[in-house]
């Protein structure tokens, strides 16, 4: 049975169940025990108005079923308010009421924490997430809790909070907790690897070997696929070699060559086997950082990509024009994966040939990939240009880059400037507070 058929079958079953419940309620309008079930089924059928209506009726009628899902109606209302993007106070009010009725139920504290998390109030979110974890350790009440079945959501949120705080050790600890439950969870692996990838490759591999079995084919394939999406380098080479040894293969492909930094052969393979993959050919030519090795390939490359190489290697080459930007960005994305800061630092400034919107695109990519120092430099360059739109968001991004490189004095200055300009980013107030706290701790 395909998904469409299964969904239709499920919908039909819910229709039958709904009809049955409504008939029972018609027979006995005072049977308040039906309200919770009606709220549940309407919610599943995405009729949120009626789901909320019956959930409120169930709450007003008092706890009907001890030891089952008496808190379900509260959770339905909370979910509906989230879907409807209700204001913070409206959501908080129902959660506070729920916690007052079920003061030991960890699920509700986790929901409350998520509310603070979504609104950028990370300190309060951290407090309630930890309270939920503490309550779950010894929870034995009649009301059923599903918190531990979904505990990875809490670990992920805490990991992100600590990452925002620049407390990377704590962030890694929570991401690792998720991988200990499900080692193939990419939502935890990707940020964790992003935090450790700048360390010595020997350390990275040793750490990953504590979580994964390099003698297991599935583990190796998971690592290769996900690391290659983030970084091409020695750690990837290590696991590709382990994979080849395990399968007794002597496989040499583009990815293998990239991972060991053999850019000359990558370039040759890209020209011969990949029907001129221009970003790879151009990117590897830049990574070689030697024009004498690159010059023979110039005749193979179309003008736009050839112009990128000439601009990179020859100081007197013509500046880029608008039509060059797509090629420039494609090569830039390739260089980001190579994890070569020296080359990236040399290549990034050429974006200044373009207008401020294009510069902003590249600055955003640097920020998103963790090159905060380079990103800050470009944001500062943008702010020097005339006719800038949405200055408040650019100032915020500059402040964030300063914050991530732990220049808290500049971060605080720019965050305050962003607020003065009308920036309404949900994280702004918390980041201002943390910047001030870190400044004070440095003074002490």
Dihedral of alpha carbons 67, 117, 93, 99, sign: positive
Q: Name which of 264, 263, 399, 403 is nearest 338 in CA terms.
A: 263
Structure tokens belonging to residue 268: 């040759």
pLDDT tier, 32 (very low <50, low <70, confident <90, very high otherwise): confident
Q: What is the pLDDT of residue 357?
A: 94
Q: What is the pLDDT of residue 274?
A: 46
Distance of CA 240 to the CA centre of its chain: 26
Domains and CATH numbers, the chain: 1-86 (1.25.40.10), 262-354 (no CATH), 357-444 (1.25.40.10)
Rounded Cα distance between 212 and 278, Å, is: 35
Q: What is the pLDDT of residue 317?
A: 86
**pLDDT(271) > 60:** no
Structure tokens belonging to residue 57: 């009726």
Q: 125, 114 in Cβ contact below 8 A?
A: yes
HEC-encoded secondary structure of the chain: CCHHHHHHHHHHHHHHHHHHHHHHHHHCCCCHHHHHHHHHHHHHCCCHHHHHHHHHHHHHHCCCCCCCCCCHHHHHHHHHHHHCCCCHHHHHHHHHHHHHHCCCCHHHHHHHHHHHHHCCCHHHHHHHHHHHHHHHHCCCCCCCCCCHHHHHHHHHHHHHHHHHCCCHHHHHHHHHHHHHHCCCCHHHHHHHHHHHCCCCHHHHHHHHHCCCCCCCHHHHHHHHHHHHHHCCCHHHHHHHHHHHHHHCCCCCCHHHHHHCCCHHHHHHHHHHCCCCCHHHHHHHHHHHCCHHHHHHHHHHCCHHHHHHHHHHHCCCCCCCCHHHHHHHHHHHHHHHHHCCHHHHHHHHHHHHHCCHHHHHHHHHHHHHCCCHHHHHHHHHHHHCCCCCCCHHHHHHHHHHHHHHCCCHHHHHHHHHHHHHCCCCCCCHHHHHHHHHHHHHHHHC
Please enumerate in sequence order all residues whose Cβ is within 8 A of that of 387, keeping only pairs 6 or more positions apart, or say none.
356
Q: What is the pLDDT of residue 253?
A: 60
**pLDDT(284) > 90:** no
Q: What is the pLDDT of residue 89?
A: 94
- Taking residues 139-155, report their average pLDDT: 91
When mean pLDDT is compared across 39-43, 227-231, 260-264, 350-354, the lowest value belongs to 260-264
- Taking residues 86-102, report their average pLDDT: 94
**pLDDT(114) > 70:** yes
Rounded Cα distance between 354 and 385, Å, is: 12
Dihedral of alpha carbons 171, 174, 175, 180, sign: positive
**pLDDT(143) > 50:** yes
Rounded Cα distance between 175 and 172, Å, is: 5
pLDDT tens digits, one per residue of 384-413: 998 888 899 999 999 999 999 999 999 999
pTM of the model: 0.87
Q: Name which of 218, 217, 215, 239 is nearest 227 in CA terms.
A: 239
pLDDT tens digits, one per residue of 294-327: 888 788 788 889 999 999 998 788 899 999 999 9
Q: 224, 240 in Cβ contact below 8 A?
A: yes
When mean pLDDT is compared across 7-21, 147-161, 272-286, the lowest value belongs to 272-286
pLDDT tier, 167 (very low <50, low <70, confident <90, very high otherwise): very high
Q: What is the pLDDT of residue 66?
A: 53
Rounded percentage of the chain residues whose pLDDT exceeds 90: 65
């Amino acid at each position: 049975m395909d998904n469409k058929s299964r969904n239709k079958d499920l919908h039909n079953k819910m229709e039958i169940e709904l009809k049955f419940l409504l008939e029972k309620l018609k027979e006995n309008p005072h049977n308040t025990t039906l309200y919770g079930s009606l709220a549940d089924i309407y919610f599943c059928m995405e009729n949120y108005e009626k789901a909320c209506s019956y959930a409120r009726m169930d709450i007003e009628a008092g706890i009907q079923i001890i030891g089952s899902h008496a808190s379900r109606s509260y959770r339905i209302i909370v979910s509906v308010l989230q879907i409807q993007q209700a204001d913070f106070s409206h959501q908080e009010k129902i959660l506070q009421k729920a916690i007052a009725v079920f003061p030991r139920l960890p699920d509700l504290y986790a929901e409350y924490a998520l509310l603070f998390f979504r609104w950028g109030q990370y300190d309060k979110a951290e407090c309630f997430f930890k309270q939920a974890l503490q309550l779950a350790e010894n929870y034995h009440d009649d009301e059923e809790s599903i918190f531990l079945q979904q505990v990875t959501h809490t670990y992920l949120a805490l990991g992100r909070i600590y990452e925002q705080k620049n407390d990377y050790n704590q962030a890694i600890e929570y991401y690792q907790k998720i991988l200990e439950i499900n080692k193939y969870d990419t939502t935890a692996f990707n940020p964790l690897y992003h935090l450790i990838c700048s360390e010595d490759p020997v350390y990275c591999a040793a750490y990953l070997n504590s979580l994964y079995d390099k003698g297991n084919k599935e583990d190796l394939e998971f690592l290769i696929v996900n690391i290659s999406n983030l970084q091409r380098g020695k750690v990837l080479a290590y696991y590709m070699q382990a994979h080849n040894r395990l399968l007794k293969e002597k496989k040499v492909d583009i990815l293998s060559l990239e991972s060991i930094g053999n850019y000359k052969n990558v370039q040759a393979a890209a020209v011969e086997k990949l029907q001129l993959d221009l970003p790879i050919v151009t990117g590897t030519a830049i990574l070689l950082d030697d024009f004498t090795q690159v010059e023979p390939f110039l005749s193979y490359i179309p003008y736009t990509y050839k112009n990128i190489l000439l601009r990179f290697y020859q100081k007197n080459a013509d500046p880029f024009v608008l039509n060059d930007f797509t090629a420039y960005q494609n090569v830039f994305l390739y260089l980001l994966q190579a994890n070569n800061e020296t080359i990236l630092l040399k290549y990034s400034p050429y974006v200044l040939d373009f207008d401020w919107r294009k510069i902003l695109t590249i600055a955003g990519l640097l920020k998103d990939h963790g090159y905060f120092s380079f990103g800050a430099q470009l944001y500062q360059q943008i702010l020097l240009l005339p006719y800038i739109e949405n200055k408040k968001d650019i100032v915020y991004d500059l402040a964030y880059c300063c914050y991530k490189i732990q220049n808290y004095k500049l971060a605080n200055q720019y965050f305050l400037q962003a607020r003065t300009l009308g920036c309404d980013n949900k994280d702004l107030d918390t980041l201002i507070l943390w910047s001030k706290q870190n400044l004070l701790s440095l003074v002490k």
